[in-house]
Amino acid sequence: MPRNRDSGDESATRGQPTAIVSNARTDPHASPRTALLKEHITIAVDLITAAKAGDKAGQQQADNRWQQNAMQIAEFLSKANPNWPKDTLADLMKRHLSTTTNEVVARLNKDCDADVRAFDEVFEHILHMADALSDGIVKQFPNKLA
Protein backbone atom coordinates (compact mmCIF):
# COMPACT_ATOMS: atom_id res chain seq x y z
CA MET A 1 0.00 0.00 0.00
CA PRO A 2 1.53 3.39 -0.90
CA ARG A 3 2.07 5.75 1.94
CA ASN A 4 -0.13 8.81 2.04
CA ARG A 5 1.64 11.51 4.02
CA ASP A 6 -1.32 13.86 3.83
CA SER A 7 -4.01 11.46 5.01
CA GLY A 8 -3.53 12.08 8.73
CA ASP A 9 -4.05 8.35 9.15
CA GLU A 10 -1.10 6.82 11.01
CA SER A 11 -2.12 3.37 9.81
CA ALA A 12 -1.08 4.53 6.33
CA THR A 13 2.54 4.36 7.54
CA ARG A 14 2.40 0.82 8.93
CA GLY A 15 4.29 -1.59 6.77
CA GLN A 16 6.60 1.01 5.27
CA PRO A 17 10.28 1.24 6.28
CA THR A 18 10.05 5.02 6.28
CA ALA A 19 7.41 4.85 9.00
CA ILE A 20 10.20 4.30 11.51
CA VAL A 21 13.08 6.31 10.10
CA SER A 22 11.46 9.17 8.23
CA ASN A 23 12.37 12.80 8.66
CA ALA A 24 10.43 14.33 11.57
CA ARG A 25 10.40 17.76 9.91
CA THR A 26 8.45 16.53 6.89
CA ASP A 27 6.49 13.59 8.27
CA PRO A 28 3.22 14.51 10.00
CA HIS A 29 3.18 11.06 11.63
CA ALA A 30 6.54 11.57 13.33
CA SER A 31 5.30 13.71 16.21
CA PRO A 32 4.47 10.89 18.68
CA ARG A 33 7.82 9.24 18.00
CA THR A 34 9.67 12.53 18.17
CA ALA A 35 7.97 13.48 21.42
CA LEU A 36 8.89 10.15 23.05
CA LEU A 37 12.52 10.42 21.98
CA LYS A 38 12.84 14.05 23.04
CA GLU A 39 11.35 13.14 26.40
CA HIS A 40 13.83 10.25 26.67
CA ILE A 41 16.77 12.64 26.30
CA THR A 42 15.25 15.36 28.49
CA ILE A 43 14.68 12.90 31.32
CA ALA A 44 18.27 11.66 30.97
CA VAL A 45 19.45 15.23 31.43
CA ASP A 46 17.24 15.57 34.53
CA LEU A 47 18.65 12.34 35.94
CA ILE A 48 22.25 13.44 35.36
CA THR A 49 21.57 16.89 36.80
CA ALA A 50 20.09 15.36 39.96
CA ALA A 51 22.96 12.87 40.25
CA LYS A 52 25.57 15.63 39.87
CA ALA A 53 23.82 17.62 42.60
CA GLY A 54 23.72 14.59 44.91
CA ASP A 55 19.90 14.80 44.89
CA LYS A 56 19.02 11.13 45.44
CA ALA A 57 15.27 11.84 45.53
CA GLY A 58 15.45 13.84 42.31
CA GLN A 59 17.54 11.15 40.69
CA GLN A 60 15.05 8.47 41.70
CA GLN A 61 12.14 10.58 40.44
CA ALA A 62 13.87 11.10 37.09
CA ASP A 63 14.72 7.40 36.90
CA ASN A 64 11.07 6.49 37.48
CA ARG A 65 10.02 8.82 34.67
CA TRP A 66 12.77 7.41 32.45
CA GLN A 67 11.59 3.85 33.07
CA GLN A 68 8.02 4.84 32.23
CA ASN A 69 9.17 6.61 29.05
CA ALA A 70 11.18 3.54 28.04
CA MET A 71 8.06 1.39 28.33
CA GLN A 72 6.16 3.91 26.20
CA ILE A 73 8.89 3.73 23.56
CA ALA A 74 8.75 -0.08 23.64
CA GLU A 75 4.97 -0.01 23.23
CA PHE A 76 5.14 2.52 20.39
CA LEU A 77 7.79 0.54 18.50
CA SER A 78 6.02 -2.80 19.03
CA LYS A 79 2.97 -1.36 17.30
CA ALA A 80 5.11 -0.17 14.38
CA ASN A 81 6.63 -3.55 13.60
CA PRO A 82 5.15 -7.00 14.34
CA ASN A 83 8.70 -8.39 14.59
CA TRP A 84 9.44 -6.25 17.63
CA PRO A 85 7.59 -7.89 20.54
CA LYS A 86 6.76 -5.42 23.29
CA ASP A 87 8.30 -7.56 26.04
CA THR A 88 11.55 -7.91 24.10
CA LEU A 89 11.71 -4.18 23.48
CA ALA A 90 10.90 -3.48 27.13
CA ASP A 91 13.80 -5.71 28.21
CA LEU A 92 16.13 -4.01 25.73
CA MET A 93 15.08 -0.56 26.95
CA LYS A 94 15.49 -1.52 30.63
CA ARG A 95 19.00 -2.80 29.93
CA HIS A 96 19.76 0.37 27.95
CA LEU A 97 18.75 2.51 30.93
CA SER A 98 20.62 0.44 33.50
CA THR A 99 23.87 0.34 31.54
CA THR A 100 23.66 4.05 30.80
CA THR A 101 22.95 4.86 34.45
CA ASN A 102 25.90 2.71 35.56
CA GLU A 103 28.18 4.62 33.23
CA VAL A 104 26.92 8.01 34.44
CA VAL A 105 27.39 7.04 38.09
CA ALA A 106 30.91 5.73 37.46
CA ARG A 107 31.81 8.91 35.58
CA LEU A 108 30.40 11.18 38.29
CA ASN A 109 32.24 9.21 40.95
CA LYS A 110 35.45 9.61 38.93
CA ASP A 111 35.88 5.83 39.01
CA CYS A 112 37.82 5.41 35.77
CA ASP A 113 37.96 1.61 35.86
CA ALA A 114 34.21 1.30 36.45
CA ASP A 115 33.57 3.98 33.83
CA VAL A 116 35.51 2.04 31.18
CA ARG A 117 33.74 -1.21 32.10
CA ALA A 118 30.36 0.57 32.02
CA PHE A 119 31.14 2.17 28.66
CA ASP A 120 31.97 -1.26 27.26
CA GLU A 121 28.63 -2.58 28.57
CA VAL A 122 26.74 0.35 27.02
CA PHE A 123 28.56 -0.15 23.73
CA GLU A 124 27.91 -3.91 23.58
CA HIS A 125 24.28 -3.52 24.57
CA ILE A 126 23.49 -0.74 22.11
CA LEU A 127 24.95 -2.89 19.31
CA HIS A 128 22.73 -5.76 20.46
CA MET A 129 19.75 -3.40 20.52
CA ALA A 130 20.56 -2.06 17.05
CA ASP A 131 20.82 -5.63 15.74
CA ALA A 132 17.42 -6.52 17.19
CA LEU A 133 15.81 -3.46 15.62
CA SER A 134 17.54 -4.01 12.28
CA ASP A 135 16.54 -7.68 12.24
CA GLY A 136 12.92 -6.67 12.80
CA ILE A 137 13.02 -4.21 9.90
CA VAL A 138 14.59 -6.80 7.58
CA LYS A 139 11.93 -9.37 8.57
CA GLN A 140 9.18 -6.83 7.97
CA PHE A 141 10.51 -5.93 4.52
CA PRO A 142 12.34 -9.02 3.20
CA ASN A 143 11.82 -8.13 -0.46
CA LYS A 144 13.29 -4.68 0.01
CA LEU A 145 16.10 -5.26 2.49
CA ALA A 146 17.26 -8.87 2.40
Q: What is the pLDDT along the chain (146 residues), one digit of tens a residue?
A: 333 333 444 444 444 444 444 454 555 556 888 899 999 999 999 999 999 999 999 999 999 999 999 999 999 999 999 999 999 999 999 999 999 999 999 999 999 999 999 999 999 999 999 999 999 999 999 998 86
The DSSP symbol for 101 reads H
CA 45/CA 48 separation, integer angstroms:
5
Rounded distance, CA 78 to CA 83, Å? Answer: 8
Cβ contact 95:74 at 8 Å: no
Report how far Cα 55 is from the mean position of its chain's Cα atoms: 25
User: H/E element holding 9?
Assistant: none
Could you give the maximum distance between any two Cα atoms of the chain, in Å? 54
Cβ atoms of 48 and 35 within 8 Å: the answer is: no
Residues 6+ positions from 15 with CB-CB distance below 8 Å: 1, 140
What pLDDT does 8 receive?
41
